[in-house]
Amino acid sequence: MASTMTPISPQEQEALKASIFQRLHPRIYLERFLSENIRPDGRDFDVWRDVFVNVGSITTADGSALVRLGNTTIVCGVKAEIAEPELDRALEGFLVPNLDLPAICSPKFKPGPPTEEAQVLSDRLNEVLLASGMLPLSSLCIHPGKAAWVLYVDATCINYDGNAFDATLIAMVAALKNTQLPKATFDQESGTTTCSRKTKMPLEITRTPVSMSFGIFDSTHILSDPTAFEEPLLDTTLSVVLDSDGQLISLSQLGLGSSGAQNSLQSCMTAAKKRRGELAQYI
């Protein structure tokens, strides 16, 4: 409040004008940037934001990761519990991924039950994690039909600046790679499972899925790693999920596929492959 009372300099006035224009006419604002071949945050179309990964900082979780993708910040923690396997899948454990987009991370989210966006993202993350087979569910079995591990992979967004899907998938995979499970033994007579305090083992992770997302603006410009400002203006969003060998795990295109769609798909795939190589050092 105090800041509005102090006189502002001409530069600040210009900046204020620009930000008012950005809020009132976001589309024209973005178009003007793109016609100059640059994006509002100063990136070229095909440039990704920096990634920062920190694992194991949360001691209450069995595995954890904090991931920053530009300003988007995701914290993910894995909690392991024990449950009885499903009757038709006696040899398998459970992997339960969920993403929460709470009101803290952006003014567009309200407190309360998960928003539609959070529900869709959680479901897609679940699909990718299961479809990739990155963690064979049979490796979570403690005793067939009696006991198996349940891994609750919960991610929370602290700062939302677009492309939460890519950031969350990195966080979830990094947290799972960081997870250590105690050695568990099932006692047939008492029907209980006991865990060892001393021996801990990492999970048997076989693949490392990483997602690369693109947005297509006005059917012409392919923007990699869209920000929160660009996201609502995009006609099409494309996500390519690749494993460490560059093999395709999942591909989704939401929205308009113009006649040039095949070309755009092709160029997104090529760009994703290149980016996957760069990300190998983080995950």
Binding residues for other proteins (CB under 8 A): 1-3, 58-61, 64, 71, 75, 77-86, 94, 96-98, 100, 102-107, 111, 113-114, 119, 122-123, 126, 150, 152, 154, 156, 158-161, 182, 184, 192-197, 228
Query: Are the CB atoms for 224 and 237 separated by under 8 Å?
Result: no
Q: Which is nearer to other proteins, 197 or 245 (CB)?
A: 197
User: Cβ 94 to other proteins, closest distance in Å?
Assistant: 5
Q: How far is residue 134's CA from residue 95's CA, in Å, rounded to a whole number?
A: 11
Secondary structure of 221-276 in HEC code, one letter for each residue: EEEECCCCCCHHHCCEEEEEEECCCCCEEEEEEEECCCCCHHHHHHHHHHHHHHHH
Q: Which is nearer to other proteins, 10 or 113 (CB)?
A: 113
Of 128, 142, 144, 246, nearest to 176 (Cα)?
Answer: 128
Q: Which is nearer to other proteins, 115 or 219 (CB)?
A: 115
Q: Which is nearer to other proteins, 191 or 260 (CB)?
A: 191
Q: Which is nearer to other proteins, 78 or 222 (CB)?
A: 78
User: Cβ 266 to other proteins, closest distance in Å?
Assistant: 32
- Is 207 exposed, middle or buried (CB count within 10 Å of its CB: 0-12, 13-18, 19+)? middle
User: Cβ 33 to other proteins, closest distance in Å?
Assistant: 19
Q: How far is residue 17's CA from residue 142's CA, in Å, rounded to a whole number?
A: 62
Query: Are the CB atoms for 166 and 213 separated by under 8 Å?
Result: yes
User: Cβ 267 to other proteins, closest distance in Å?
Assistant: 31
End-to-end distance of the chain based on CA atoms, in angstroms?
44
3-state secondary structure of 52: strand
Q: Which is nearer to other proteins, 29 or 275 (CB)?
A: 29
3-state secondary structure of 22: helix
Q: Which is nearer to other proteins, 77 or 209 (CB)?
A: 77
User: Cβ 195 to other proteins, closest distance in Å?
Assistant: 4
Query: Are the CB atoms for 167 and 194 separated by under 8 Å?
Result: no
User: Cβ 126 to other proteins, closest distance in Å?
Assistant: 5
User: Cβ 198 to other proteins, closest distance in Å?
Assistant: 8
Of 274, 267, 269, 230, nearest to 252 (Cα)?
Answer: 269
